[in-house]
Amino acid sequence: MKKIILTFLAAAFMLVFTGCDKTNEGNGRLVVNITDAPFPVDMVESAEVTITKLEIRKAGDGISDECPFEVIWEGSETFNLLDLRNGVVAELLDLEIPAGEYNLLRLYVDEASLKVKDGENFTVRVPSGSQTGIKIFIDPVLVVEEGLTAEMILDFDLSNSFVIQGNMDSPAGIKGFIFKPVIRAANNSSAGRLEGTVKDAEGVALKDVSIDVKQEEAVVSNAITDENGNYAVLGLPSGTYSVTASKAGFKTLDVEEVVITKGNRKVLNLELEVEE
């Protein structure tokens, strides 16, 4: 599986956690990757976000604390979220931080842009995202242990984050968008992944099948199959899910009791029947 990697040397972050850490705990390693839930891409060439800072908070630290959040990365990196689908991730940071339990992130997004195929490029500033940050809760908490590596994924829900304005029937009808970031923090230390291939009854791979992964009827994450019928959903907490596969012209398929276990890959291949 293709992996996009943007490397940041840990030495560049030796100044973080010097002002507010009042413990003598050792350090563990934290890796943060960026990925994206699906987005209808027929008329969109790129959907980019520019991230300028990431802060993290230890569990139990209250907002009244002198330093409840710690800056763990600061800079300016732009990600095209359309490149980060079906299991592809981009690494935002890899560095040592004090061991402990962390339950909240604050992500600073300076700018978002959407380029329409054969059309305009729309850009918006994100004042609240660049000034106060976007709060993202980590559930279950992220445990960073001394001498070990913890990994987390920030999953952007493109279809809800980029709300397109105008007529979606043609590129010329798109007049802009509203950016309302919807981001899920997935703790890979306690998560697994779901992947597979969707085909029809003749064994032909099906593109653009919508895959919804649910718990108690609520959609946890989703995916859209690629040209080879493949899909992947990363960072699913251990548990039992239902999976729905749907595509125009085919009967919707529901699969119950799909069990995801920590650190494992669950392969679920699906077959859709043509709608009569």
Q: How far is 167 from 225, CA to CA, in rounded Å?
A: 25
The yes-or-no verdict on residue 228 having pLDDT over 90 is yes
pTM across the whole model: 0.74
What does the pLDDT look like over 29-48, one tens digit per residue?
A: 887 877 765 555 677 889 99
Place 83 in a pLDDT band, splitting at 50, 70 and 90: confident
Question: How much is the pLDDT for 252?
Answer: 96
Question: How much is the pLDDT for 36?
Answer: 64
Mean pLDDT, rounded, for 190-205: 94
The yes-or-no verdict on residue 27 having pLDDT over 90 is no
The yes-or-no verdict on residue 173 having pLDDT over 60 is yes
Mean pLDDT, rounded, for 1-19: 33
- Sequence letter at residue 217: E
Which one has a higher pLDDT value, 190 or 214? 214
What phi and psi, each to the nearest 5 degrees, are found at residue 128?
A: -65, -35
What does the pLDDT look like over 110-150, one tens digit per residue?
A: 999 999 887 789 998 886 767 788 999 988 888 888 998 88
Which pair of tokens denotes residue 13? 């972050």
Mode of pairing for the β-strands spanning 121-125 and 69-80: unpaired
Question: How much is the pLDDT for 213?
Answer: 94
Question: How much is the pLDDT for 120?
Answer: 85
- Sequence letter at residue 153: I
Question: How much is the pLDDT for 250?
Answer: 96
* C-beta separation of 54 from 106 below 8 A: yes
| Beta carbons within 8 Å of 243's beta carbon, 6+ residues apart | 194, 211, 212, 213, 214, 254, 255, 258, 268, 270
Burial bucket for residue 97 (CB in 10 Å: 0-12, 13-18, 19+)? buried
| Beta carbons within 8 Å of 208's beta carbon, 6+ residues apart | 224, 225, 247
Question: How much is the pLDDT for 166?
Answer: 78
Q: How far is 1 from 200, CA to CA, in rounded Å?
A: 24
The yes-or-no verdict on residue 17 having pLDDT over 50 is no
Using alpha carbons, select from 209, 230, 219 the residue that is nearest to residue 273.
209
- List the alpha helices (DSSP H) in 104-243: 127-131, 158-161
The yes-or-no verdict on residue 67 having pLDDT over 60 is no
Q: What percentage of the chain has pLDDT greater than the value 90?
A: 35
Q: What percentage of the chain has pLDDT greater than the value 70?
A: 84
Instruction: Tell me what the pLDDT averaged over the chain comes to.
Output: 82
Helix (H) or strand (E) holding 58: strand 44-58
The answer to whether the peptide bond before residue 140 is cis (omega within 30 degrees of 0) is yes
